[in-house]
């Protein structure tokens, strides 16, 4: 797997360096996305599939505001859950939310996935959710996850693959161009979903399972409309001659959301694997 060049605009890729104002904006987006009923369902269904339902030590890599960490602490009452992320602002928010929800068993640590500050083999479950997609070196991060997970412990990864994303807009060709620009010029790796099984095999992980979750938004504004805005911005920068068409495309989607007709969909994939060496 290639290492991502840091020229991409993806703000999560640069999360350690964004200022407080940008971080607060991203915190709002992460929490808003995480509370959408479809995301609540995906988290619950995926966590239910983790074979060890009594883990003691759990790690959430690229935890952001800790929405998965909090859910894992609730799902597994005997656990202590660590969340690690490069952004001190995200972690500050994470501590606040965990405190509000009276979850003293959730702890947050500043750090990077490719250099996890934990000894070998201590964690029962190590999770990364929609985080590898935003990292410079996902392979090294998964290697690190493997290292710090105990023998017969579980690695859980949830990712999306943005080629599965569509927006219901009558101009299919224009939609494709905008999506391609967004994926390739914005996201660190919008095609990460398809790469995870290969990566787990490369690391000789065992009992690899793949689960699929479909996110569908119909009616009003949600996470996928936020993605459309981001992709439109990338397309305008990359294909300047398309600017008026892209602006009209985004205006159409926003109008459809105002009228309750917005429709878009995207697939997420859950991956489970164990280390047995």
Q: Give the footprint of ligand SAM on this chain (CB under 6 A).
A: 12-13, 15, 30, 34, 61-64, 67-68, 85-87, 90, 112-114, 129-131, 134-135
Closest to ligand SAM by CB, 112 vs 217, is: 112
Closest to ligand SAM by CB, 90 vs 118, is: 90
Type and span of the H or E element at 59: strand 57-61
The CB-of-69 to ligand SAM minimum distance in angstroms stands at 8
Strands 206-219 and 80-85 turn out to be unpaired
Closest to ligand SAM by CB, 27 vs 205, is: 27
Cβ neighbours for 81, distance < 8 A, ≥ 6 positions apart:
58, 59, 60, 69, 72, 73, 105, 106, 107
Nearest-CB residue for ligand SAM: 64
Closest to ligand SAM by CB, 135 vs 156, is: 135
CA distances from 64 to 9, 27, 245 (A): 18, 8, 34
Closest to ligand SAM by CB, 62 vs 246, is: 62
- The rounded distance, in Å, linking the Cα atoms of 156 and 211 is 11
- The rounded distance, in Å, linking the Cα atoms of 34 and 130 is 11
Q: What is the DSSP secondary structure assignment for residue 33, as one 8-state letter?
A: H
Closest to ligand SAM by CB, 135 vs 199, is: 135
The CB-of-64 to ligand SAM minimum distance in angstroms stands at 3
Tell me which residue of 191, 195, 128 sits closest to 165, measured CA to CA.
191
Q: Output the six-digit token pair for 59.
A: 């790690």
The CB-of-265 to ligand SAM minimum distance in angstroms stands at 19
- Are 6 and 13 spatial neighbours (Cβ–Cβ below 8 Å)? yes
């Amino acid at each position: 797997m290639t290492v991502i060049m840091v020229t991409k605009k993806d703000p999560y890729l640069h999360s350690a360096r964004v200022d407080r104002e940008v971080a607060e904006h991203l915190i709002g987006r992460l929490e808003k996305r995480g509370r959408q009923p479809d995301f609540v369902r995906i988290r619950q269904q995926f966590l239910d599939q983790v074979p060890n339902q009594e883990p003691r030590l759990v790690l959430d890599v690229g935890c952001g505001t800790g929405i998965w960490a909090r859910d894992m602490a609730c799902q597994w009452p005997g656990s202590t859950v660590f969340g690690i992320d490069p952004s001190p602002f995200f972690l500050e928010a994470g501590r606040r939310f965990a405190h509000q929800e009276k979850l003293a068993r959730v702890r947050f640590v500043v750090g990077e996935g490719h250099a996890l500050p934990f000894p070998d083999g201590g964690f029962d479950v190590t999770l990364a959710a929609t985080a590898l997609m935003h990292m410079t070196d996902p392979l090294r991060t998964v290697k690190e996850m493997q290292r710090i997970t105990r023998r017969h412990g579980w690695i859980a990864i949830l990712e999306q693959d943005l080629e599965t994303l569509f927006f219901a807009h009558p101009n299919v060709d224009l939609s494709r161009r905008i999506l391609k620009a967004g994926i390739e010029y914005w996201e660190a790796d919008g095609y990460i979903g398809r790469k995870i099984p290969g990566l787990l095999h490369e690391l000789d992980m065992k009992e690899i399972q793949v689960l699929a979750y479909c996110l569908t938004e119909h009616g009003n504004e949600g996470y996928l409309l936020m993605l459309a805005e981001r992709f439109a911005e990338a397309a305008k920068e990359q294909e300047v001659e398309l600017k008026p068409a892209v602006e009209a495309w985004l205006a159409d989607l926003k109008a459809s959301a105002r009228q309750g007709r917005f429709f878009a969909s995207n697939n997420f994939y859950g991956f489970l694997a164990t280390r047995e060496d």
